[in-house]
Amino acid sequence: MSHTNPSEQELLKTVLEPLLEDFQYWFVRARHLLESERITFLSLEEQGELLERVKTSEQEVHTAKILFEATGKQAGIEIRALVPWHNLVAECWGVSRKWRSLSASAAAPQQNPDLPLS
């Protein structure tokens, strides 16, 4: 059985390219949520600050993707640049999850305690 190690360029293409696309996807979704909904468990200032961080990171990822493409997919990105993006995506997932949960419970029909359950 022959084991060949992928080249750095192959690794960049198979790992970094989809990772940048994922960051773009999640930042667009987070931006849309923060722009279109009032996240009531965040103050207006917190929501605005989170939106600005998402927009900044979205632009950074876009720039990184352009550079990656411009170098023939041969330029990598340091982990130090990826970690804040990852942390921000995780933070946005938490906000989204909590917002969906609160929205779902608010939309659920309220039961009358005087009526039997069945």
Q: In whole numbers, what is the pLDDT of the chain averaged over residues?
A: 88
Structural domain contains residue 17: yes
Q: How far apart (Å, rounded) are the C-alpha atoms in residues 16 and 36?
A: 30
Structural domain contains residue 107: no
- Mean pLDDT confidence for 33-62: 97
Structural domain contains residue 111: no
> 29 is in which domain, residue-wise?
9-98
Q: Are 40 and 105 in contact (CB under 8 A)?
A: no
Q: pTM for the whole thing?
A: 0.81
Structural domain contains residue 117: no
The number of folded domains in the chain is: 1
Among the ranges given (10-19, 56-65, 82-91), the one the predictor scored with the smallest mean pLDDT: 10-19
CA distances to 20, 43, 87 from 54, in Å:
14, 16, 11
Structural domain contains residue 115: no
Joined together, the tokens standing for residue 15 give: 């790992």
pLDDT digits (tens, 9 = 90+) for 67-96: 999 999 888 888 899 999 999 999 999 999
Q: How far apart (Å, rounded) are the C-alpha atoms in residues 23 and 87?
A: 11
Structural domain contains residue 66: yes
